[in-house]
Amino acid sequence: MKKIKKMVLLSILLMFSTVVSAEPWSTLTNVIEVYPNTVGLVFVTSYANTQISTCDNGKRFSISKDHPNYDVMASAMLAAFMADEKIVFHIESGQNGCQPTIDRFRVLK
């Protein structure tokens, strides 16, 4: 019985750790550069994740123009950049490339 409980607990922990690593959140970070391009709004942060972002030493991310809330997200990102406020953002799962997209973020003082 104890062996079964241990196996179930181990299985749950493994599933949870996979989910957590698949959809990471950044740490609290500053936006140090923003620029629009043909696919959306690109931004560079002090946060780095070289396993997901392959450009600017893992610090480049983007908001896709295809995101249903692009206008609000791009405006809020620009406001955070101009006010030098910190952000925390969520990177969409299953990405590895130059500028992986985010699907949401928070602006914090």
Phi first, then psi: what are they for 38, rounded to 5°? -70, -15
Residue 33 in contact with residue 45, Cβ under 8 Å?
no
Lowest mean pLDDT among 7-21, 50-64, 75-89, 92-106: 7-21
The pLDDT mean for the chain works out to: 87
Model confidence at 17: pLDDT above 80 = no
Q: How far apart are CA 101 and CA 84, in angstroms?
A: 21
Query: To 10 degrees, the CA torsion angle through 45, 27, 107, 50?
Result: 30
Provide the pLDDT confidence category of residue 84 given band limits of 50, 70 and 90: very high
24-108 domain in CATH 3.40.50.10420? no
Residue 31 in contact with residue 77, Cβ under 8 Å?
yes
In the prediction, which pLDDT does 109 show?
87
Summarised one tens digit per residue, pLDDT across range 62-81 is 999 999 999 999 999 999 99
